[in-house]
């Protein structure tokens, strides 16, 4: 009996906000692995804001479908180091199955008391991004006050929680709804949060942080960045991770913050970073965070859609801010 797999491909470049019509689902015969390869059945797939940029670059295709972080199970193996049943992380995400070589995967060892999905979220690239941004880029010190934009999103929710473990002073977040604001302050331990749709961001942030902040973890850019520059104290630091405010307007991005030169007067340090440049931090990061996830001190914050056919809608919903935490698609039961 011929086996098959399903995959998603991009068929056109979006004009502004992406739509379902920008994608197509395909079903093709599934081939087995060659020497040194494994056949992986995907369990969880992650959809992320950076993928919106890839839609404009024309460089999103990878293997059978589109690039994306994934956790899967080896179901056929011709690689001695990856026996059947091994759980692996890889980046051939927008498909149900993938034929991969040993160099394409990283073995994931499940931990008792920790959901497998966490290794695509707070214990995966999401959490590592937050950890690197706080410890290596911003160099957050105990007692320092932190502002996180898009704080109910995947990286933002991880950054706020990790900051607590690093003994930050006040942790403040912005989000896109009253429900998300409540989630930040009641479930994730933020000291204050505000809905960025309620009014001028500068006024909302100044009210939430009347004495200023020391560090800004930026996932948004635009007006959030300008507001943070105003509120940052002398020698403040900005760890710039993302710019979701402009992802749908790459052809006509917002102007630079009007107060950019304030960075000079306050001696603020602004540094952009990519987590892919900090792979050497993974072991340290896991030693630090796994015990806190297992104990429940860190919340595994995620929105999970069931079934591979939901992946496009999950991606579009994430871009509209309909998620809390990491957005995942569960392709098959664990």
What's the CA dihedral at 148, 150, 151, 155 to 10 degrees? -90
pLDDT at 170: 98
Residue 261: the pLDDT is 95
Q: How far apart are CA 28 and CA 8, in angstroms?
A: 11
Domains of the chain: 4-118+301-330 (3.90.180.10), 125-276 (3.40.50.720)
Per-run averaged pLDDT (10 residues), the chain, 334 residues: 87 92 95 95 95 90 91 97 98 95 96 95 95 98 98 95 98 96 96 96 97 97 95 98 71 76 97 94 96 95 96 95 93 88
pLDDT at 138: 98
pLDDT of residue 175: 96
pLDDT, residue 249, reads: 62
Residue 33 is predicted with a pLDDT of 96
CA 225 to each of CA 210, 216, 229: distance values in angstroms, whole numbers, following the listed order = 17, 8, 6
pTM comes to 0.89
* pLDDT at residue 245, rounded to an integer: 67
Tokens of 35: 């020497």
pLDDT at 251: 59
Instruction: Residue 92: name the closest of 117, 75, 76, 71 by CA.
Output: 71
């Amino acid at each position: 009996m011929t086996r098959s797999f399903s995959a998603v491909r991009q068929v056109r470049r979006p004009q502004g906000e992406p739509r379902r019509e920008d994608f197509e689902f395909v079903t093709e015969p599934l081939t087995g692995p060659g020497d040194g390869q494994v056949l992986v059945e995907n369990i969880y797939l992650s959809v992320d804001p950076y993928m919106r940029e890839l839609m404009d670059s024309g460089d999103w295709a990878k293997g059978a479908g589109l690039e994306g972080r994934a956790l899967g199970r080896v179901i056929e193996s011709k690689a001695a180091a990856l026996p059947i049943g091994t759980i692996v992380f890889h980046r051939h995400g927008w498909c149900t199955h993938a034929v991969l070589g040993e160099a394409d995967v990283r073995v994931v060892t499940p931990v008792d008391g920790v959901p497998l999905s966490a290794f695509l979220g707070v214990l995966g690239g999401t959490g590592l991004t937050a950890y690197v941004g706080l410890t290596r880029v911003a160099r957050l010190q105990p007692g320092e006050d932190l502002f996180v934009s898009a704080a109910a999103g995947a990286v933002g929710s991880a950054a706020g929680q990790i900051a607590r473990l690093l003994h930050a002073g006040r942790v403040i977040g912005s989000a896109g709804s009253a429900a998300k604001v409540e989630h930040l302050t009641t479930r994730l331990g933020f000291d204050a949060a505000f809905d960025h749709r309620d009014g001028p961001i500068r006024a909302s942030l100044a009210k939430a942080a009347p004495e200023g902040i020391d560090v800004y973890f930026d996932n948004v850019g635009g007006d959030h960045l300008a507001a943070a520059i105003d509120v940052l104290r002398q020698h403040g630091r900005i760890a710039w991770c993302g710019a979701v405010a402009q992802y749908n307007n790459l052809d006509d991005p917002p102007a630079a913050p009007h107060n950019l030169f304030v960075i000079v007067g306050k001696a603020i340090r602004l540094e952009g970073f990519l987590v892919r440049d900090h792979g050497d931090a993974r072991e340290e990061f896991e030693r630090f965070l796994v015990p806190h996830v297992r104990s429940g001190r860190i919340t595994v914050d995620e929105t999970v859609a069931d079934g591979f056919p939901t992946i496009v809608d999950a991606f579009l919903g994430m871009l509209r801010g309909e998620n809390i935490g990491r957005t995942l698609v569960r392709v098959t039961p664990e």
